[in-house]
Amino acid sequence: MHVLTVLDHPDPASFSAAVARRFMDGVETAGHSAELIDLHAEAFDPRWTMADVEADGNASALADVGREQARISRSDAICLVFPLFWWGMPAMTKGWVDRVWSWGWAYDQLDDPELSLQRSRPGILLVPAGARSDEMEEKGYLAALGTAWIQGTFGYFGLSPRRLKLLCGSEGSPERRAQLLEQSFQAGREVFSAGNGG
Ligand SMILES: Cc1cc2nc3c(=O)[nH]c(=O)nc-3n(C[C@H](O)[C@H](O)[C@H](O)COP(=O)(O)O)c2cc1C
């Protein structure tokens, strides 16, 4: 099986980059192949422009979008890794999702988010976040992000099972960070396991 990891961080020494590497290590340890899209290193253009508007339902014709869609098409599971920015996706990931998972290619059933045009495959979000996990739950951020990303975005894309893992306390102690990296490794190792959080 082939697993695509999409990393959004400009710094190869960042915690997010380490999370992506450990996830991919887990994938390979389980005997699968791993491919990385490093959005910053590859200088992906996240801006949704008139070219995207004019492509209207045929975004695959845009060279950069078509290339990313081909990478998704040959993947059996997809993992997005990005730091939580203002309770949302950083601009690069947001633009990649906006432009690449396009109407007419990823979905067309606005009334039924489960009717994706893409085949079903596991999807996971690994999201380092500065906040503590109790704060995430108590203030409702975890539920809000789950609704938006798991039901919303990943639902439209037909990913299944789908899983959101907030790596809370990512700026904490070395022990905490080591724990989070170990969780990332396990997430990679178990990406195709039944009941992996759904
Ligand atoms: C612009 C910006 C916005 C951020 N917004 C949030 C936030 O809304 N919630 C949160 O828990 N952490 C937030 N953080 C903290 C980052 O999520 C945290 O620093 C990051 O996960 C650390 O990973 P890194 O070393 O890979 O950058 C923010 C950081 C930056 C730079």
Cα 23 to middle of ligand 1, angstroms? 19
pLDDT at 79 over 50: yes
CATH number of 2-189: 3.40.50.360
Structure-token pair, residue 140: 């409702």
Domain coordinates of the chain in residue numbers? 2-189
When pLDDT is cut at 50, 70 and 90, the band that residue 113 belongs to is low
The predicted model gives 23-33 an average pLDDT of 98
pLDDT at 197 over 80: no
Structural element, H or E, at residue 6: strand 2-7
Query: CB neighbours of 6 closer than 8 A, spacing ≥ 6?
Result: 36, 37, 39, 78, 79, 80, 81, 93, 96
Q: Ligand 1: which atom is nearest the Cα of residue 86? A: 8
Q: Burial level of 23, CB count in 10 A (0-12/13-18/19+)?
A: buried
Q: Burial level of 33, CB count in 10 A (0-12/13-18/19+)?
A: middle
- Confidence (pTM): 0.95
d(CA 100, CA 93): 10
Is the shortest distance between the CB of 131 and ligand 1 below 6 Å? Answer: yes
Short-list 178, 162, 74, CA closest to 124: 162
Q: What does the mean pLDDT of the chain come to?
A: 93
Structure-token pair, residue 188: 């990679």
pLDDT confidence of residue 194: 64
pLDDT confidence of residue 92: 98
The Cα angle at residue 33 between residues 26 and 12, in degrees rounded to 5 = 65
The predicted model gives 164-192 an average pLDDT of 97
Is the shortest distance between the CB of 167 and ligand 1 below 6 Å? Answer: no
